[in-house]
Amino acid sequence: MAANTFGELFRVTTFGESHGKAIGGIIDGCPAGIELDLDKVQEELNRRKPGQSAIVTQRKEPDTVEFQSGLFEGKTTGTPIGFAIYNTNQKSKDYSHIKDSYRPSHADYVYDKKYGFRDYRGGGRSSARETASRVVAGGIAKQMLSDIKINAFVSQVGDIVLHKHYSELDFSKIDSNPVRCPDAETAQAMEEYIKSIKKQGDTIGGVITGVAQNVPVGLGEPVFDKLHAKLGAAMLSINAVKGFEYGSGFAGVRMKGSEHNDAFNSDGTTKSNRSGGIQGGITNGMDIYFNVAFKPVATVLQSYETIDKEGNPVTTQGKGRHDPCVVPRAVPIVEAMLALVLADYTLLARTNKL
């Protein structure tokens, strides 16, 4: 399996499967001398971990990160940062029903066909457990970028949409409810809806909005590595993601150029920000904002029709401990991937001019 590494200069390689001994990673290229608060990194992991509320999977994993290298006296040494999170709560027999059949719209069929092997326990490497390692690396990237403010929040669950611009929201309220939507009333409606979906043994999708503020001008590497191209790749690499748009996104299609253009102020800032902080693939100093769409995940706790390895039709009963809606737990993953892209491009920007 190739492509387990993300980034050019700030590079993270992740390893591990959901029911293996551990998952973890190596961060290569993190500059020396960054003061790290490791408790903050653990806090980021706690925001992603299972079992944190009634509306997420009830697996109980402590997800404690252990650092093995690259740190000395609270600072990065510039050497590879190695870390591991031990898997402690696997219930492999929860997955015996899918040993010989494929969950529709999961990665079971394609892994079997591509590799000839499949670790069916918990989805193996296709499990979103892998994203815990991204959250650790992103937690470090966030601290490297202490001037840039990185936030993400749930802005839609099914048909329930948060109809407020991010500038009207108080980001300190993102973690004040289990949905991670900073508007209390909308969050309440979303939470109730997720609970009703869970009761039906079903799943539902959602949207996460990401925002980066106080971004300097000049991050981005045209032509192939435009900042929004890398952001799109980062977000689309997250499990269950189906869509990415930044700035005016798909809605911009309905506007005329004269309406869509972001007029300049004399200091180079713009009066509107339909560009989403990126023009020509390079940051212009305005906020970066984007939406990431997550599907209703595959594992429904209902009876469903599928096929076995020989292509025979079978009826299977979904079981185990699964997420009825993944967006509350995916908020720290989106933030982590945003931080990883910005950390990488911050280092790359230093190679642009002598």
The edge-to-edge listing of strands for the beta sheet with 241-246 is: 160-161, 149-157, 206-213, 288-294, 241-246
Contact call for residue 239 and ligand FMN (CB under 6 A): yes
Instruction: Point out which span in 29-37, 92-100, 111-119, 123-131 binds ligand FMN (CB under 6 A).
Output: 123-131
Rounded Cα distance, 316 and 102, in Å: 10
Span interacting with ligand FMN, options 74-82, 121-129, 304-312, 341-349, rule CB under 6 A: 121-129
Secondary structure (DSSP) of 42-105: HHHHHHH-TTSSTTS--------EEE-SSEETTEE-SS-EEEEEE-----GGGGGGGSSB--TT
Q: Contact with ligand FMN (CB under 6 A): which of 85, 150, 298, 331?
A: 298
- The single residue among 16, 23, 44, 57 that binds ligand FMN, judged by CB under 6 A, is 57
Q: Which is nearer to ligand FMN, 128 or 174 (CB)?
A: 128
Q: Least separation, in Å, of the C-beta of 140 and ligand FMN?
A: 20
Number of Cα atoms under 13 Å in the Cβ half of residue 291: 19
DSSP letter at 118?
-
| Interaction residues for ligand FMN, span 83-112 (CB under 6 A) | 106-107
Per DSSP, the residues of 13-28 read EEE--TTSSEEEEEEE
Compare residues 70 and 122 and give the one whose CB is closer to ligand FMN.
122
Cβ-Cβ contacts under 8 Å for 251 (sequence gap 6 or more): none
Which residue from 209, 299, 316, 346 is in contact with ligand FMN, where contact means CB under 6 A? 299
Question: What is the closest distance, in whole angstroms, from the C-beta atom of residue 122 to ligand FMN in the complex?
Answer: 9
- Considering only residues 127 to 186 of the shown chain, the ones binding ligand FMN according to CB under 6 A are 127-128, 131
Q: Which residues bind ligand FMN (CB under 6 A)?
A: 57, 106-107, 123, 126-128, 131, 238-240, 297-299, 322-323, 326, 329-330, 333
